Amino acid sequence: MKRSAQKVLLALGAPLMFTACATLGPPQPPSLELPKPPSDLRAVRKGDRVILSWTIPTLTTDRQTVRSVGPTRICRELEAELTQCGTPVGEAAPQTVTAAPGFSRRKVAGSFVDTMPGQFESDNPSAFVTFAVEALNAGGRGAGLSNQVRVSLACTLPPPRDFGARVTSQGVVLTWTSELPAKGSTQPARYVYRVYRRPEGSQQQIPAGELPAAGERSFTLTDSSIEWEKTYEYRAETVTVIHQEDRAEVQVEGDDTPEVKVFAHDVFPPAVPSGLQAVFSGPGQRAFIDLIWAPVADVDLEGYNVYRHEEGSAPVKVNAEPLRTPAYRDASVVSGRNYLYSVSAIDVRGNESGRSEEAGEVVP
């Protein structure tokens, strides 16, 4: 009986001993500390500069946390595909990605600005240069190239000249002059002038409009989408637009003009009302004169003011608050008098238009 119990215990214990031993695998080799190659390299060209950006790796190729941080090589070749970095055109300095206790590491962007040699620019709209980056550890070793991006080598043109801005009742009017080179009209590309505005204190670049860079000497563009009483910075650039049948359209931005600052101060009154008519009504009821006129279409219109006077006297405003509709009934009239009326428009900032042509009516 005792021997049977011992056999049962040994049988039950054997799997436990086997399981415990199975967790002790062979020792793991030390990590090579090779950062995983970035997979989100992006490139934007601006004139002769290419702005590269990517996410700095936080894991090694063996899925360990990166502890040995080195620089990032910048690779550039006039080839369709890079197989190795060759001679780097630059290096981005090491950046350590840290994390607060209890939180995962945040993503940190790496960046580099490469200035391309002037001889790289090409009249061939399909010419391009290829970029990649290689993340290294502190020992200068990497695990290979990132994803690769192509950048057009199309020629860019200088920015517009004499760029200026002024505030009008219609918005900010932007003007510039241009002298496109003779080859501009014969190249397999088209050019546009593009204008951006930036609210003061903000980095947001808002497109304000664009015009074809045709053969004109002078250009004018009105930005009507502003908000009054705000300050804006404007800049302009020449954009090379390349359309290829077998590929998507490519746009290459040229260099910027200096920024021009304007304060959009509204000192511009609404349009003067027109079509004023005065009609007397009185028999059998209290006498009054009805006024009607054509509405003013200004988007910032607050309302209207009505002015009245008799021959030889100065006009006097008869309404206490701006009228919201283009109509008014004057019940403060006296029999036997001839009244002359005019109307003005007023906007939300208190700018008042001139007065309309007068309309008169006699109270019998």
Tens of pLDDT, residues 59-84: 999 998 888 789 999 999 998 899 89
Structure tokens at 279: 């009609």
Residue 19 has a pLDDT of 46
Banded model confidence at residue 42, pLDDT cuts 50, 70, 90: very high
Q: What are phi and psi of 119, to 5 degrees?
A: -70, -10
The more confidently predicted of residues 128 and 16 is 128
Banded model confidence at residue 259, pLDDT cuts 50, 70, 90: very high
Q: Which position has the token pair 């391309």? A: 116
The more confidently predicted of residues 29 and 202 is 202
Banded model confidence at residue 121, pLDDT cuts 50, 70, 90: confident
The more confidently predicted of residues 285 and 228 is 228
If you count them, how many residues does the chain have? 364
- CA dihedral in degrees (326, 330, 336, 342; nearest 10)? -40
Q: Which position has the token pair 């200088």? A: 158
The residue type found at 112 is F
Asked which of 92-101, 163-172, 219-228, 254-263 is least confident by mean pLDDT, the reply is 92-101
User: Within the chain, which residue ranges are assigned CATH 2.60.40.10?
Assistant: 42-97+106-152, 161-263, 274-362
Measure Cα distances from 238 to 79, 101, 113 in Å: 27, 49, 20
The yes or no reply on domain 42-97+106-152 and CATH 2.60.40.10 is yes
Banded model confidence at residue 206, pLDDT cuts 50, 70, 90: very high
Asked which of 119-133, 185-199, 208-222 is least confident by mean pLDDT, the reply is 185-199
Statement: residue 44 has pLDDT above 90: yes
- Tens of pLDDT, residue by residue over 154-184, are 988 899 999 999 999 999 999 999 877 654 4
Residue 98 has a pLDDT of 61
Find the mean pLDDT for residues 126-135: 94
Statement: residue 36 has pLDDT above 70: yes
Q: Which of 248, 45, 41 is nearest to 153 (CA)?
A: 45
Statement: residue 246 has pLDDT above 80: no
Statement: residue 14 has pLDDT above 90: no
Q: Which position has the token pair 């049988």? A: 11
The yes or no reply on domain 161-263 and CATH 1.20.1740.10 is no
- CA 60, 64, 65 angle in degrees (round to 5)? 85
Residue 53: CB partners within 8 Å, gap ≥ 6?
41, 42, 43, 109, 110, 111
CA distance 272 to 258: 38
Residue 66 has a pLDDT of 87
For the chain, the average pLDDT equals 88
Statement: residue 275 has pLDDT above 60: yes
- Three-state secondary structure readout of the chain: CHHHHHHHHHHHHHHHHHHHHHCCCCCCCCCCCCECCCCCCEEEEECCEEEEEEECCCEECCCCECCCCCCEEEEEECCCCCCCCCCCCEEECCCCCCCCCCCCCCCCEEEEEEECCHHHCECCCCCEEEEEEEEECCCCCECCCCCCEEEECECCCCCCEEEEEEEECCEEEEEEECCCCHHHHCCCCEEEEEEEEEECCCCCCEEEEEEECCCCCEEEEEECCCCCCCEEEEEEEEEEEECCCCCCCEEEEEEECCCEEEECCCCCCCCCCEEEEEEEECCCCCCEEEEEEECCCCCCEEEEEEEEECCCCCCEECCCCCECCCEEEECCCCCCCEEEEEEEEEECCCCECCCCCCEEEECC
CATH of domain 274-362: 2.60.40.10
Residue 26 has a pLDDT of 62
Q: Which of 60, 58, 72, 57 is nearest to 32 (CA)?
A: 60
